[in-house]
Structure 1
Amino acid sequence: MKYRKLGNTNIEVSEIAFGAEFLVERPYEDTLELIKACEANGINFVDCWMSEPDVRSHLGRAINPNRDNWVIQGHIGSTWQDNQYVRTRDMDKVIPAFEDFMERFQIDTLDFGMIHYVDQIEDYENIMNGPFIDYVRKLKSDGTIAHIGLSTHNPEIGILAAENPEIELLMFSINPAYDMFGAMDDIEEYRKEDAFDNDFSSVNPQRAEIYDLCEKNGTALTVMKGFAGGNLLADETSPFGIALTPVQCIHYALEQKGVSSIFVGVKTVDELMESLKYCNAGDDEKDYAEVLKNAPLHSFKGQCTYCGHCQPCSSGIDIAMVNKLFDLAKNQDEVPASVNEHYHNLKYNANDCIACGECELRCPFEVYIVDVMLDAQDLFGF
């Protein structure tokens, strides 16, 4: 197992982490078996957004003997009402639900207190300008939580969080399919049968901007929904018409800039071991580019996916980054100031391209990279 630092914190976590969402209505013995398997294989990071009381109690009990070895993400705003999960900003519900979390996990300090599931701009603004954030700040000042985090599926919220120095960790849904979507304020949009029927043939640059911002600002970035709810793992449900392996999905997530760790949701130890194959996988097993290149649906031919296979550049250009910034700017009435600044702060940019074409020979998606560099020169100037 390899470990990565979480943003500007001094905390190191396993690249593969445990997402406990499938422990609902399961006996304690199942939780204990999975936690022991995690510990035996070097996993030291767990996320619990579930409010179901037994899940919290079982996890707390299983982790307690080795608590000092674990880093825990716990969610504020996830509540249990009338025997079901409810996301809420009602402080009369939020506070006792979080106190319940701490009690059931048998901890005095939570490593990351996550502002739970923020997918609407209005919700984000209300949180950041009201009693919810006041409560979170108090938890941190009291030492009840060590760091503040936020979870979202919406790239617009992700950008706001990555730009907010108060948010130390962003939990975001990352996989090859979701990365083609624009901003959505409802995760259910991803699950609709016709969700991928349009021309989703390149990575949404807005999502790519999140990864760059997190790396630049030192905002820790952790990954959820790496398998798209399991849809990417079967030909029948993959939006590409062809399955990816857990290893390929994990590699895709961990390749994105700023990413520290990916939470894998598993039901059994056998499923966990399928994900852990990543630790010893070779480059061929990890490579998702060839799968996407030959996918029968939604071809990526001619579209940059920022995979980095084009590197190294003989002129030292970060080709994927230039492509991202160009994609962010090309459809705007004028180049956004932040994108323009980022481009001109690159050590080497499109103006340094010598048109050798070596990158094009390596690109699995047959992108005419030299043409992109020429277009970027025209767009951004000198």
Structure 2
Amino acid sequence: MEYRTLGRTGLRVSAVALGCEGFMHKRAEEVKADFDFAIGHGINFVDIYSSNPDLRADIGAALEGRRGEFIIQGHLCTVWENDQYLRTRDPQKSADSFERQLRQLRTDYLDVGMIHYVDAEADLRTVFDGPIIRLAQRLKAEGRIRSIGLSSHNPAVARMAVETELVDVLMFSINPAYDLQPASEDVDALWADESYARTLHNVDPERERLYELCERTGVGIDVMKVYGGGDLLSEANSPFGRALTPVQCIEYALTRPAVAAVMVGCKSRAEIEAALAWCDAPAAERDYTAVMTGLERFSWRGHCMYCGHCAPCSAGIDIAAVNKFRNLAQVQGEIPETVREHYRTLAHHASECIGCGLCEPRCPFGVEIVEAMHRAAERFGY
């Protein structure tokens, strides 16, 4: 298992992590068996958005005696009413549900307290101009949540949340299909067929700015909807007309800036194994570019996707890393100190490019890599 630091929280989380969907409607002994299996294979991170009391209690029982070894991301603003989960912005209901959550999980704190599902700008204002953010801050001050998070599907709203500097972790939907889509307050548009009926080119700039902002500011991203609700795993349902594997979907998400972990909603042991296959998969199996190239209506032409196909560089330059740091600096207009330091510690820098051009025919997306190295050297000075 690979472990990554979840932004400025300092938490070391498994790159492959668990969503809670797969544990619903299972018996307590089945939940424990699945957690035993996951923990035995290095998974140490779970997201629990559901307020279902049976689910929370079963997960609490499964983690009893090993809470300190496991990182729990629980959600604020979810309640259980009339035998179903509901989102709320009522501060008293949110506080009461939080207290029940701790009791059900048999713990006295959450590692991440995630403000649940903020996709609309008006809702964002309700959260950050009212009692919900004050509740989250109070719980953090009391040590009952260690970090504040927010979940969203809308990159414009997520960016505004990150810019408040109050959010430590962002839970966001990332996959190669959703990344093509512009910002919207209508989450259903992400998987609507009509959204993919038109020609789409490259990662939407708003999404790219969000990932790069999180990287610069130390906000860790953990990923939901990595399989696009399962559509990307099916040739018939994928908007590309081609199926990706679980390993390819996970690899795509984990190569985006600031991403630390992917929360996979696994309903069976086989699905957990399919996600864990990423850990030992060779580069050829992780490679998602074959699905993303040669498409008529979808293109990432000229855009570095950090896939690493350009390697090896004759001068030893990590081209994908240089491109990432150049993009981070370019968006800001000036070079943040964190980006400058990360660039400095690279073993080889853009100025060492000898212009041989061997990398360019290997790039599936037709990036003018030599020119990109020259621009990076100009920006960083070496």
Report the TM-score range of the alignment, normalised by the length of the smaller protein: 0.7 to 0.9
2:263 maps to what in 1? 263
Residue 341, structure 1, aligned to residue 341, structure 2: no
Is the Cα–Cα contact under 8 Å of residues 301 and 365 in structure 1 kept in the other structure?
yes
Q: List per-residue Cα deviations over 1:232-255 (Å, max 9, x = no partner).
A: 101011111100000111111111
Q: Which amino acid aligns with 1:15?
A: A
Counterpart of 1:251, as a letter, is: E
- The 5 A counterparts of 1:137-156 are 137-156=137-156
Where does residue 95 of structure 1 map in the other structure? 95
Q: Distance in 1 between matches of 2:315 and 2:204?
A: 27
Q: Quick check: 1:85 aligned with 2:85?
A: yes
Maintained 8 Å contact 2:193/2:239: no
Shift, 1:353, TM fit: 8.1
**d(CA) in 1 for partners of 2:271 and 2:155?**
29
Report the equivalent of 2:122.
122
Q: CA RMSD in A?
A: 2.9
| 1:130-167 Cα shifts (integer Å, max 9, x gaps) | 11111111111111111111111111122223333321
Q: Distance in 1 between matches of 2:126 and 2:334?
A: 30
CA distance in 2, matches of 1:88, 1:173: 21
Alpha-carbon spacing, 1:355–1:29, altered in 2? closer, same or farther (3 Å): same
Change (3 A) 1:9 1:343: closer
Shift of 1:342: 4.6
Which amino acid is 1:363 matched to?
A: C
Identity value in percent: 40
Corresponding residue SS for 2:89: coil
Letter in 2 for 1:129: D
- Give distance in 2, aligned partners of 1:67 and 1:9: 18
Query: 5+ unaligned residues in a row in structure 1: which ranges?
Result: 330-337
SS at match of 1:250: helix
Structure 1 position 325, deviation (Å): 7.1
**Using the alignment, how far apart are the partners of 2:205 and 2:6 within structure 1?**
23
**Alignment pair present for 1:248 and 2:248:** yes
CA contact (8 A) 1:148 1:168 kept: yes
CA gap 1:308/1:164 in 2 versus in 1, 3 angstroms? farther
Amino acid at match of 1:341: E
Alpha-carbon distance change, 273 to 296 in structure 1, aligned in 2, over 3 angstroms: farther
Distance 1:71 1:111 in 2: 6
Please give the alpha-carbon distance, in whole angstroms, between the structure 2 residues aligned to 1:68 and 1:74.
Answer: 15
8 Å contact kept, 2:278–2:286: yes
**Residue matched to 1:13:** 13
- 1-structure distance, mates of 2:210, 2:68: 31
Q: When the two structures are aligned, how many residues end up with a matched partner?
A: 368
Q: Deviations over 1:345-371 (max 9, x none)?
A: 877999998865344222112345567
Contact 1:7 1:218 in 2 (8 A): yes
Please report how far the alpha carbon of residue 320 of structure 1 lies from its aligned counterpart in structure 2 after TM superposition. 3.5
- Whether contact under 8 Å (2:173, 2:223) holds in the other structure is yes
Unaligned runs of at least 5 residues, structure 2: none
Once residues 185 and 351 of structure 1 are traced to their aligned partners in structure 2, the CA distance between those partners, rounded to angstroms, is 43
Letter in 2 for 1:3: Y
In 2, the alpha carbon distance for the partners of 1:40 and 1:370 equals: 45
Give 1:322 deviation, angstroms.
8.0
Q: Secondary structure at the match of 1:8?
A: helix
TM-score by length of 1: 0.86
Match of 1:158 in 2: 158
Pick which of 197-206 and 272-281 moved more. 197-206
Q: Between 355-364 and 101-110, report the one with greater CA deviation.
A: 355-364
The 1:196/1:324 distance shift into structure 2, 3 A limit, reads: farther
Note if contact 1:205-1:324 (Cα within 8 Å) is conserved in structure 2. Answer: no
Counterpart AA for 2:21: E
Measure, in 2, the Cα distance between the counterparts of 1:98 and 1:110. Answer: 10
Relative to structure 1, the CA distance from residue 322 to residue 67 in structure 2 (aligned partners, 3 Å threshold; closer, same or farther) is closer
Letter in 2 for 1:10: G
Mapping 1:26-105, distance limit 5 Å: 26-105=26-105
C-alpha offsets along residues 180-221 of structure 1, whole Å, 9 cap, x if unaligned? 111111221112121211222311122122222222211111
2:307 is matched with 307
Q: Does 2:356 correspond to 1:363?
A: no
Q: What is the identity, as a one-letter code, of the residue corresponding to 2:365?
A: F
| Displacement of 1:340 | 2.5
SS at match of 2:261: strand
Q: Aligned pair in 2 of structure 1 residues 341, 255: CA closer, same or farther (>3 Å)?
A: same
Q: Is the 8 A contact 2:198 2:297 kept in 1?
A: no
Pick closer, same or farther for the CA change 1:128–1:230 going to 2, 3 Å.
same
Contact preservation (8 Å) 1:208, 1:324: no
Distance 1:226 1:55 in 2: 22
Is the contact made by 2:199 and 2:297 (CA closer than 8 Å) also made in structure 1?
no
- Structure 1 window deviating more from structure 2 (89-98 vs 221-230): it is 89-98
Deviation at 1:372, TM superposition (A): 7.4
Any conservation in 2 of the 1:8–1:219 contact (CA below 8 Å)? yes
Change over 3 Å in CA distance of 1:28–1:294 after alignment to 2: farther
